[in-house]
Amino acid sequence: MQSSINRDGVLPLDPDDLVAEGEPPFADAATENAREKADDDLNVLQHEVRLLRARIGMLREDAEAALKAKATSVDANAHVQLGDYPWAKLAAAMCAAFVATRLVRRLALGVMLTGFAGQLSEARRWH
């Protein structure tokens, strides 16, 4: 703040001369400037949040498009490898594997070992 007395030793007539340059003339003015700066900062942050939300939305759309394209590609590959109704054919193969597993489990272990032992003895005779 400038001195209240000028070079001549006289108080200035204009009260604005008592305030240094860049210094608010009243205490309320500093609060208003801080509030304006805070409001400006808030507006900038809100604008950045809107931009980030828009970018996130675009990324979501891109991810959805990529997933749909991948699903389409997988479906096309399944049709190429398995022909028409590939999922039905896969389901039938899984059911057949399940039934075969159940049948093997029901066979007596002794019957399977006897058959295997017969195969081993035949193999020894040839060597």
49 and 60 belong to one structural domain: yes
Rounded to whole angstroms, how far apart are CA atoms 91 and 81?
15
Domain count of the fold of the chain: 2
Residues 6 or more apart whose Cβ sits within 8 Å of residue 49: none
46 and 63 belong to one structural domain: yes
Rounded to whole angstroms, how far apart are CA atoms 23 and 27?
10
Q: What are phi and psi of 4, to 5 degrees?
A: -75, -15
Would you give per-residue pLDDT tens digits along the chain (127 residues)?
445 555 566 555 555 555 555 555 555 556 678 888 899 999 999 999 999 999 999 999 999 999 999 999 988 887 788 788 888 888 999 999 999 888 877 776 767 777 777 777 777 776 6
Range of the domain at 32: 25-80
